[in-house]
Structure 1
C-alpha cells in the first residue's frame, strides 16, 4: 500500500501508459470496470475501499490525500484518468502544471460514469483521443472543448503527427492556430510527405487553401501558413514563416556503406554534412539503409539509436536486383553485391531518381533518396 506523505514523491509502480485513479465508493466500482477493459492502464484507489483481490488485479492502494499522489503520476504516465470532480482536479493539478509539451493528458470522469471530460493536454498530451476511447469503453458521453476538434478543422499542433511529422519551431503554433480556428485565410503548401492528412468526412474548410508552391502562397497573402517539406527554405521563401510553421515529414532515406569498424562519429559527420549540402532537413530523415552484413556494425547502430531512425538492411541478392548506376566489382568481391548505398536507397524509397547517387567520404559511402510525393 502507498502511504502518501507531504515531503516525498509517492512510490508508485508503473507498468502501463495510463493511470486510473478513484477516491469514492462509486468511483472505485467504475474504475475497476474501466481497468478491466482498458488494459493499458494501472489502477489506484483508496485503501478504505479494499476488496481483497487487489494484489491479484495489480491494483495499487493508497492512503492519505490523492493530491500527494498526483506529482508522481505526472512524472510517469502518458495520461491520467481521474474519477474525481472536475473542480477538485483543477485545484489539485494547478501547482504541478509545467508545459503543454510535457504535461500528461488529463481526463476526468463523473462519479456515475456518464461524462468523460478532456481537461488538460488535449492535443499534444493525447487527452482528446483518450477521452474518446474511455467514453467508448464506458458507453459514456465524450466532452471535448478544443476549438479545432469542435469546428472539425486542422489541429495545428498535431498536424501530421500520426505520420511522424515534426515542426521546426513551436514559436508560431499559437498565432497560426488562432488563424485556423478564427477562419482566416490559411495557406497549405505540401512538397513531400503523406497526403491523407485530412480525416474528417466534410470537405476542407474554404478558408484553408492548398497552393502548389510557396511562391504561389506568398502571392495570395494568407494570414497564416502550414508548409510541409523536407528541404530548407530560401531567404525569400522564409517570408511565409512570418506567421507560419514548417513541418518535416519523414521522407529521406540514407544509404550507407562503410568499412568495418568505422566510428559512429565519422558516419554521423558524413550524414549531417551531406544532408546540409543537399539543403535538406535532418528532421526529415526516416531511415538508414545498408547491406545485411552491416546489421551488427556498431557505428551504424549507435547513429540510428541516437536519432531514432529506422535501420533497414538487405541481402546482396536483393541489392543486385535494383538499379545501380555505378556497379563495382570490388564491392562485389567483398560483399556479394555490386553496390550497397545506392541500391539500398532505391529499394527503400521506390524512387527512380536519387537526390545523391553516391558519394565517397573517408570510410563511408553515402546515397540519399526521397520517398516520392
Structure 2
C-alpha cells in the first residue's frame, strides 16, 4: 500500500516501462482491462476500489491524492497512461515539465474509455504511438493533434528514428518542422541510409523534394526554405550552408572491420577508429557495428568500445571470413587465426558492400577496414 503525503516522494515499485493510473470506479475497470492486454505496464489505483486480487496481480494501491503520486511516476516511467479528466492531468503535470527530449509520454483516457488522448511528448516521447496502441486495445478513438500526424507528412523530430538515425543537433527541429507543415519548399537530401522512410499510402507532398546530393539541392532556384540532410559524411563549409534552416541526420551505415593484438586497450582502439573516420571525413555517429573474428569475441578492448557507443558487435568464424574475396589476403594472419584476413572480409560480410571505403590500415596494435552499408 502506498500512502501519499505532502512533501514526500511515494515509494513506487517499478517493474515495467509504463504506468497506468486510475482514481474512479469506472476508471479502475478500464485500467484493469487495459493492463491485461498491455504488456510491460504497472497498474496503480486507489485502495478504496480494492478487489482482492491486487497482490497476486502486482497491482499497487494508494491512499491520498493522486497529485502526490505523479511526481514519482513522471520521474520513473517511460510513459504514463492516466484515466482522469484531461484538465486535471494538465494541472497536475504542469509543475513537472522539463524538456520534450526527456519528459515521459503522457496519455489520457476518459472515464468511459471512449477517447484516448496524446497529451505530452507526442513524437520524441512516443505518446502518439502509445495513444494509437492503447486505443486499439480498448476499441476507443485515438486523439492525436500533432500537425505532421494530422497532415500525414514528415515528422522532423522522428525522421528515420525507426532505423536508428540520430540528428546532429536539435537546434533547428522546430523551424524545419514549421516549414514542413506550412507546406514551404523542403529539400530531403539523402546520401546514405534506408530509403523506405516515407510511411504513408500516398505520394510525397509536392512541396517536399528529394535530392541525392547537397550540391543538387543548393543549385535550386529559389533555394529550399528548409532541408533534411541524411548522410554519414562530415559536411564542408560550403555544404553546411544548407543547414541554415536544416537538420542533419546520421544514419547507421558505417561498418568497422577490426582486428587487434590480444590485450589492446580500448583507448587505443577508440583512437584508431576516430582518427580513421576523420581521415575518411566520416561521422562517428553513423557507426553501426564493429565486426571481427570469433577468436576476438571476448576481447575486452573491443567489448568496452562497443558498450560505450552502443554499437553492434559481430564476429565470424574463419570459414565465413575465407569465403569472402579479399584484396589483401595474408598468409601470416592465416597461420595465427585460420583466416586469410579479419578486418577486410568482416566489414564486407556484414555490410553487404561490394567494395570497402578503406581496404585495410594497420595502426599500432590495431588493424581496421571500413565499409558503408548500401541501401
SS across alignment from 1:142: strand
Q: Structure 2 stretches of 5 or more lacking a match?
A: none
Residue number in structure 2 paired with 1:287: 289
Task: Give 1:352 shift.
Answer: 1.3
Contact 1:323–1:346 (8 Å) recurs in 2: no
* Secondary structure in structure 2 of the residue aligned to 1:304: helix
- For residue 267 of structure 1, what is the aligned residue in structure 2? 269
TM-score for the superposition, normalised by structure 2: 0.99
Instruction: Determine which of 363, 366, 369 is the counterpart of 2:368.
Output: 366
Give per-residue Cα distances to partners, 1:243-301, cap 9 Å, x unaligned. 00110000000011000000111101101111111100100000000000100000100
**Structure 1 residue 8: deviation in Å?**
2.0
- Cross-structure match for 1:174: 174
Please name the residue that 2:31 is paired with: 31
Distance 2:334 2:116 in 1: 62
Q: Note if contact 1:117-1:144 (Cα within 8 Å) is conserved in structure 2.
A: yes
Aligned residue number for residue 214 of structure 1: 214
**Counterparts of 2:5 and 2:304 in 1: how far apart (Å)?**
42
The reply to whether residue 252 of structure 1 matches residue 254 of structure 2 is yes
Aligned-partner Cα distance in 2 for 1:342–1:39: 43
Q: Displacement, 1:164? A: 0.2
Q: Which moved more, 1:35-44 or 1:130-139?
A: 35-44
Q: Would you say 1:18 and 2:15 are equivalent positions?
A: no
C-alpha separation in 1, matches of 2:59 and 2:278: 52
Q: Deviations over 1:73-129 (max 9, x none)?
A: 112111100000000000000000000000010000000000000000000000000
Q: Residue 5 of structure 1: CA displacement?
A: 1.9
TM-score, normalised to structure 1, is 0.99
Q: Which residue of 2 aligns with 1:315?
A: 317
Deviations 1:178-222 (A, max 9, x none): 000000000011000000000101110000011222111112200
1:353 is matched with: 355
Residue-by-residue CA offset, 1:212-236 (whole Å, 9 max, x unaligned):
2211111220000000000011111
SS at match of 2:258: strand
State the match for 2:158 in structure 1.
158
Residue matched to 1:79: 79
RMSD: 0.7
Q: CA deviation at 1:40?
A: 1.8
Aligned counterpart, 1:55: 55
> For 1:209-248, what aligned pairs fall within 5 Å after superposition?
209-220=209-220, 221-248=223-250
| 1:111 alignment counterpart | 111
d(CA) in 1 for partners of 2:212, 2:258: 33
Secondary structure at the residue paired with 1:367? strand
Q: What is the aligned partner in structure 1 of residue 40 from structure 2?
A: 40
The count of residues paired between Structure 1 and Structure 2 equals 373
Distance 2:76 2:255 in 1: 34
Aligned to 1:204: 204
Q: CA–CA distance in 1 between the matches of 2:306 and 2:215? A: 35
Q: Deviations over 1:141-174 (max 9, x none)?
A: 0000000000000000000000000000000000
SS in 1 for 2:219: helix
1:140 aligns with 2:140: yes
Structure 1 residue 13 displacement after superposition: 1.0
CA–CA separation in structure 2 for the residues paired with 1:206 and 1:54: 54
Cα distance in 1 for residues equivalent to 2:182 and 2:6: 44
Residue range with higher mean Cα deviation, 107-116 or 10-19: 10-19
1:107 counterpart SS class: strand
Q: Which runs of 5+ in 1 are unaligned?
A: none
CA distance in 2, matches of 1:212, 1:270: 30
Separation in 1 of the partners of 2:38 and 2:274? 43
Q: Secondary structure at the match of 1:227?
A: strand
Moved more, 183-192 or 210-219: 210-219
Deviations 1:299-344 (A, max 9, x none): 1000000000000000001101101111111111111101000000
Instruction: Tell me the CA shift for residue 348 of structure 1.
Output: 0.5
